[in-house]
Amino acid sequence: MSTLVERAGLALLHRLDPETAHGLSLRALRLGLVPLPGPVTSPRLATDLAGLALPNPVGLAAGFDKNAEAVPQLMRAGFGFIEVGAATPRAQEGNRRPRLWRLPADRAAINRFGFNNQGMEPIAARLAARPGGIPVGLNLGANKDAPDRARDFATVLAHAGPHIDFATVNVSSPNTEKLRDLQGKAALSALLAGVIETRDDLARPIPVFLKIAPDLGEAELAEIAEVALESGIDGVIATNTTLSREGLSTPSPSDQGGLSGAPLFEKSTRILARLSQLTEGRLPLIGVGGVGSAEQAYEKIRAGASAVQLYTAMVFSGLSLAAEIAHGLDALLERDGFSNVGEAVSTGRERWL
């Protein structure tokens, strides 16, 4: 439950430009000004995700801590796992401001950042210095001007791989021109082959996940499912932000960029459920998009997810939301007689198909 202090802090931050407010929230986190609940777990919540032991299945999505600046603090914020990045080989500024908008009436946001980050070297150095605890992963990206974008993903993994617990191949951001073209069957197969080869050369091989877009047609999704099963990756994250503006109650402030938050919940959950059906439970799935409550996290799990991630909902509810969802999910599992998360996976998939 958010505290009076947290609600007051959010009210102040919402008076500022969204990107400035985000930077200040990360700084407050690093300075110890944000109360942290520590690990949240129970026998029902503890789960395995592609070999990763999670205290609970509620994760932090990439994008909140792009440069891995607050990893020790986020590890104590109630999440079961966190993902930082996206990281590219070289630092890049991303797109020009304004590039982030809040949509309070819809509990949503639009961003067109364009993989702004400090580059893999400082990010990897911070990850190398992190404490032990929950699994920490890195979202892999490609530089906008790279002559061979597919190679960039393997480059970042080779450099940062020794310091992370999992990696995510992000070919689904809508904010780097033609990046989503890499979701095509031939291009994706080649890209993943390079990433898996790099992963296998690490002294400690780690799970590799693929993050997909919600704006895929049936044939495209079927191709991705086929490639995912053949490539040797360890799971799929469904989904990234959407280019659609469907579900907004107010005019969109930008026709560019990805929409996240509450309006994405149904669309991303339908993709998740269909992907679960196509892969026949042979790959763990991570459900992302519009998760803002324990009930919604539970719905993603029952649609086919082994774990979930959140980000945009915290813009409106605060960091305490992670622990709140984890505790609420534990109660829902107990209510329905499940002894662990795995037992609930896909039990409600049919309603989304």
Domain map of the chain by residue range? 4-352
Give the pairing type, strands 52-54 and 47-49.
antiparallel
Query: Each residue of 50-83: pLDDT tens digit?
Result: 999 999 999 999 999 999 999 999 999 999 999 9
Active site residues: 173
Judged against a pLDDT cut of 90, whether residue 185 lies above it is answered with no
| Helix ranges restricted to H, the chain | 4-13, 18-30, 71-74, 120-128, 149-160, 185-200, 218-231, 265-279, 294-303, 312-317, 321-335, 341-344
Contacts of 276 (CB under 8 A, 6+ apart): 285, 303, 304, 305, 346, 349
Structure confidence by residue, pLDDT tens digits, 189-246? 999 999 999 999 999 999 999 999 999 999 999 999 999 999 999 999 999 999 999 9
CATH top-level class for 4-352? alpha beta
3-state secondary structure of 288: strand
For the residues 78-103, what does the mean pLDDT come to? 97
Instruction: Quote the CA–CA distance of 211 and 189 in Å, as a whole number.
Output: 14
Q: Whole-prediction pTM value?
A: 0.96
Q: Among 270, 265, 281, which residue's Cα sits nearest to residue 313?
A: 265
**How high is the mean pLDDT of the chain?**
95
CB 265 within 8 A of CB 303: no
| Confidence at residue 194, expressed as pLDDT on a 0 to 100 scale | 96
pLDDT, residue 145, reads 94
* Confidence check: pLDDT of 1 > 60: no
